Structure 1
Amino acid sequence: MKKMKKLTLKEMTASEQFEVKTQLGRSKANLGRALTNAEQNRIKDMAVNKIMQKRADVIKATRLEKKIAKTTLNTVTFNWSASINTRPAR
């Protein structure tokens, strides 16, 4: 399976961006101090990875649904006699 390229904040929806910012805020509140750049990057990467995993799961589920829909049994059968020309040949 092809690996997805890493998302940037610009490529995310507003709710996904909010989720990343919320994670950063929670971490800052838990530590009771400002985060270092390394901590910010680590937390941001973890949040982005979670979002990418959610997207991959949705893509996988829709792909599976399409595959199931494509392979469902079709009750209409081919009618051979309807395709034969009834007019006699000359």
Structure 2
Amino acid sequence: MSQEQEPRLQFEPSPTLSLGGAGWVMIALGVVTAAISFFVDVTVPVSLTERVANMDKIAVRHMFLASSLTVFLSGWLLVAAGAVVKAIGRR
């Protein structure tokens, strides 16, 4: 009596999209948007010669920076997941 073996699942990397590649794109996007967030003007004119910081614009810059850092960290997670999937595939 012979036992039939079930075929094992084979995870093969897609040639068009990989976790590591998508992760590096997200890391680059996070770095670029974080750099851009530091150039957001947070001042408003109060007279012809004076400008003061606007708390609402400071909050918008903070949200922009926080979201870009989230994209950056998500990219690192994708790169790490891609490395794990590649290591599992080599076994």
TM-score (norm 1): 0.45
Structure with a larger share of its residues in strand:
2
Higher helix share: 1
* Larger Rg computed on CA atoms: 1
Which TM-score applies when normalising by structure 2? 0.45
